A and B are shown apart, each in its own frame.
Chain A
Amino acid sequence: MLAHSIFFYFFSIIAIFSSLMVITSRNTVNSVFFLILDFISVGCLFIMVGAEFLGMIILIVYVGAVAVLFLFVVMMLNVAEQKQSWFIGKKSTHIPIGLIVSVLILLELLVVVGGWKYKDDLMSSNTLYISDISNTHQLGLVMYTDYILYFQLSGVILLLSMIGAILLTFRQRKGVKKQSYFNQISRNPSSSIELREVKSNEGVKIDD
């Protein structure tokens, strides 16, 4: 049990430290790296409480895909070494929005913590507490039976947001040369080579 608590404090201290570094470090790319460290340590905490499936999914989805895209955007936008003028003098337009979001998150956290106290009254489903089957099986049993509607609904919402994001960034550019694979494969010598007699001082027209 001692080793368990040592590991717990180890990972949680790393998680808290790295999340502090995310908001305080000057270099934006470094903050993304700390965010990744944060994800990893939270994933380890999940594994420690026995939610191995969730922990691995956090590693795969957040660290393996989402954070890579974050890193991509931050590197491409070249916002590294940005001057942080948030706390120094200048009025920033970000602060009100940030405040609203953080107050909302605080309220949600309070609701969750409050709910945890009364969880026995809230959770009537007893399928969650069969301990002799693995965690992945448990999730599957609940997700595809009791909560199938919510599960599918969240999938549809994700699909919609994906289509929306593509639509927002999609623009048709003119004059872009594209390779048409069908045309390329289906061409043969008779349709692409032509022999012509070239008269002196006159030349030939190509591509007409």
Chain B
Amino acid sequence: MFEYLQVLGEEVYKILFMLVPILVSVAMVVWLDRRVWGLVQKRKGPNVVGPFGLLQTLADALKYIFKEIIIPASANKAVFILAPIVTMTLALVAWAVIPMSEDFVLSDINVGILYLFAVSSLGVYGIIMGGWASNSKYPFLGAIRSAAQMVSYEVSIGIIIINVLLCVGSLNLKDIVLAQRELWYVIPLFPMFVIFFISALAETNRPPFDLAEAEAELVAGYQTEYSGMMYAMFWLGEYANILLMCAMGAILFLGGWLPIIDIYPFNLVPAPIWMILKILFLFFLFALVKAIVPRYRYDQLMRLGWKILLPFSLIYLVLTASFLFYFDKLPKGNF
């Protein structure tokens, strides 16, 4: 019994060691996002609270905590409360398989990439539940829109993942990173990286695909009726999801924790730092896109997903497979 408790304690310690930095970095990343957005528009962005305005998000969170949570009278109470919880939980639960270095990973499972894909595809439930349970027109429309959008873009993300898996020959995230020791997949699979980036934008409801919360048409989309801490949970969950997508991009295409080149000054830097730098680089791109690209119209978004990105990634999949087969480069599994 005592042994069991000890194991449990160790596990909890490990999980907290992963989760607390993620929550803190979500707060920092919100600041970074607003700061980049401001600088692109020749504003200063948040720069008052704390050094460089770093504590701005904490101040915002404090404000949300002290606000009243209002549940609309006609809302479906249970589902209404459950929706932000689902969003937040799913955004955090996926970090269990993200390897920060060769031995710094919570659970090193065989089907890691499938797990990531599954959890990120479950993210749609938070939105659809929130939109439906509010029992109001704008949230419902926003939820329906974003559900259709996320389901469509998941398909092309799936095919992009298959592209990478063909080159690796394993579903394990560690193997995927280690297979890129000689060449990061961003070079041979560059078109796939671009499509992955676009699909990740759509999957996380970021501008230019933020139709779920298009202010001009839908007030705030699925989160219109939410207030106080429940709104903040949606908001933090969204940013945790964005970070997750960045981590996924870093692992699939940018070589995870591997240094840029494996020579003297670069391989002194600890592996997790490289991973964090790559995630931040991708996040910086996300923030830039938010600032410089106007919002898509809904039919254009659907057309882009189904008629351009999906066929293109399918054709590229066939090309990758034929290339690997013709030059006999198919990965030999351990069997």
Contacts and interface: CB of A to CB of B under 8 A. Distances in A.
Contacts of A59: 118, 121-122
A4 B144 CA distance: 39
A135 B110 CA distance: 9
A137 interface: yes
A59 B123 CA distance: 12
B313 to A, nearest CB: 17
Contacts of A64: 118, 121-122, 124, 151, 154
16 contacts: A33-B79, A33-B129, A53-B111, A53-B171, A63-B121, A64-B122, A64-B151, A64-B154, A65-B151, A68-B124, A71-B132, A76-B144, A133-B335, A134-B110, A134-B171, A136-B171
A29 B132 CA distance: 9
Interface of A: 27, 29-30, 33, 36, 52-53, 56-57, 59-60, 63-65, 68-69, 71-72, 75-76, 130, 132-137, 141, 179
B49 to A, nearest CB: 39
Contacts of B148: 72
Contact of B117 (A29, A30, A60, A72): A60
Interface string B166-209: 00000100000000000000000000000000000000000000
A53 B118 CA distance: 11
B122 A63 contact: yes
A135 B128 CA distance: 33
Contacts of B121: 59-60, 63-65
B128 A68 contact: yes
B30 interface: no
B335 A56 contact: no
Contacts of B140: 75
B316 interface: no
A133 B171 CA distance: 13
A144 to B, nearest CB: 13
